[in-house]
Amino acid sequence: MSQSITHLTLLVRNYDEALQFFTQKLSFRLIQDTPLPDNKRWLLVAPPDSRGAALLLAEADTPEQSLAIGNQSGGRVFLFLHTDDFWRDYKAYQSRGVRFLESPREESYGTVAVFEDLYGNKWDLLQPAAPDERAAVGD
């Protein structure tokens, strides 16, 4: 059996402001923007060259959904954005006004820093340690 998670729903306040943040600040690519009934959209974005899951940006349309915007994981890190060059992306995001909540740090699993999206959801920007680096940490 072959299965994979292809999309994660991210509640947003407004389609266009969310699309602008993800494409302009994080350099995500627009995968699909299809109008749906009731002024909804099927709006998918993903990191450049990603082969993983995409984000479905879903505009909140109930009071309960609105309350979850920016706090979809109860204040914990919600999403983990892996990169092949931490410092390139960290500097680029900072220059575009992305808010980091901490200084970069080296952990046994890689180089990481927590940032917020435009609604306050926490993300890890993470460059995983090379396999040989992880083995050396455990020695």
Contact assessment for residue 80 and residue 127, using Cβ atoms and an 8 Å cutoff: no
Which residues are CB-contacts of 36 (< 8 A; sequence separation ≥ 6)?
A: 42
pLDDT at 12: 98
pLDDT at 137: 52
Structure confidence at residue 24 as a pLDDT band (50, 70, 90): very high
Higher-confidence position of 1 and 111: 111
- CATH of 1-69, picked from 3.10.180.10, 1.25.40.10, 3.90.1010.10, 3.40.50.170, is 3.10.180.10
pLDDT in tens, 123-139: 999 999 987 655 555 54
Which residues are CB-contacts of 28 (< 8 A; sequence separation ≥ 6)?
A: 22, 45, 46, 47, 48, 55
What is this structure's pTM? 0.90
Q: What is the DSSP string of 64-101?
A: HHHHHTT-TTTTSEEEEEE-S-HHHHHHHHHHTT-EES
pLDDT at 120: 97
Asked whether residue 75 carries a pLDDT value surpassing 80, the answer given is: yes
Q: Where in the chain are the domains?
A: 1-69, 75-139
The reply to whether domains 1-69 and 75-139 share a CATH topology is: yes
pLDDT at 131: 79
For Cα atoms 43, 52, 6, give the angle at the middle one, nearest 5 degrees.
55
Q: With pLDDT > 90 as the criterion, what percentage of the chain qualifies?
A: 90
Count other C-beta atoms under 10 Å from residue 40's C-beta: 13
The structural architecture, per CATH, of the domain 75-139 is Roll (3.10)
